[in-house]
Amino acid sequence: METRELVSEKTIGRLSLYRRLLSGLLAKGRQNIYSHELATLSGGTAPQVRRDLMAIGYSGSPSKGYEVADLSESINSFMDNPDGTRGIIVGAGNLGRAIMAYFEGRRPKLKIVAAFDNDPNKIGSEICNCPCCDMAYLKTTVAQMGISLGVITVPANRAQEVGDKLVDAGVTGILNFAPIRLHLPPNVYVEHVDLTTSMEKVAYFVQSNKDSDVAGA
């Protein structure tokens, strides 16, 4: 268990990418891969790939590289909870429903099992094969279904309240799409995905590119 805790967030992020790349290669019948190839595909460097895989106790052979199927399986058993991880999503608007559709069936060991909303028109409906439940049942559902992960797709002004409710219910990891920093206890792992910032960064650098062209002309 100690190995798990020594592995950094960035390494975990890259392992997640490696296994998707490996799964694509497996589907094409690929048997072996060198660290420099995995580096090219993942946009990293070969020493980094080797360090990441050593961190989970995996090493390849200098002559044949890594075995694709075996490496893929090792990453799975390192990353996945053998009993599976169950998550819920709070906020069944456009974004929430898209996230549910995106993740439906994507990973066998990671499932969103229910949505929550406070809109009476949504409560009781089914979204991507999941029930949409009343926020009033959040706490009991989390306890009964063994939910550990929450996805927040409510507007910014409701996100902190929803985060507090999720934590109070027993959730220990949150994927937050609301464009606001959540203040939660340090034992809760929070990953922010800020779509507006990502889009605005691209818009800024597009404009910046144009300015440099003009300046250089």
* Options 62, 63, 185, 206; binder of its own copies; rule CB under 8 A: 206
Nearer to its own copies, 59 or 207 (CB): 207
Q: Which token pair is 137? A: 């049942």
Which string of b and e fits 144-180 if b means at least 16 CB within 10 Å? eeebebbbbbbeeeebbebbebbbebebeebbbbbeb
Q: How far is the CB of 135 from its own copies (least distance, A)?
A: 21
Indicate the angle between helix axes 46-55 and 35-42, nearest 10 degrees. Answer: 100
Distance CA 55, CA 70 (A): 16
**DSSP line for 40-82:** HHHTS-HHHHHHHHHHTT---BTTTBEEHHHHHHHHHHHHS-T
Told to check if 210 binds its own copies by CB under 8 A, we report: yes
* Site membership for its own copies, residue 4 (CB under 8 A): yes
Binding flag, residue 201, its own copies (CB under 8 A): yes
User: Least separation, in Å, of the C-beta of 130 and its own copies?
Assistant: 14
* Residue among 37, 42, 41 nearest 64 (CA): 37
Q: Which of 56, 151, 167, 184: binder of its own copies (CB under 8 A)?
A: 151
Binding of residue 143 to its own copies (CB under 8 A): no
Amino acid in the structure at residue 200 = E
Of 31, 45, 61, 81, the one binding its own copies by CB under 8 A = 81
Secondary element (H or E) of residue 126: strand 126-127
46 binds its own copies (CB under 8 A): no
Assess 199 for contact with its own copies (CB under 8 A).
yes
Chain residues binding its own copies by CB under 8 A are 1, 4-5, 9, 12-13, 16-17, 20-21, 24, 41-43, 79-81, 85, 87, 94-95, 97-99, 101-103, 106-107, 109-110, 148-149, 151, 156-157, 172-175, 179-181, 187, 189, 191, 193-212, 214-215
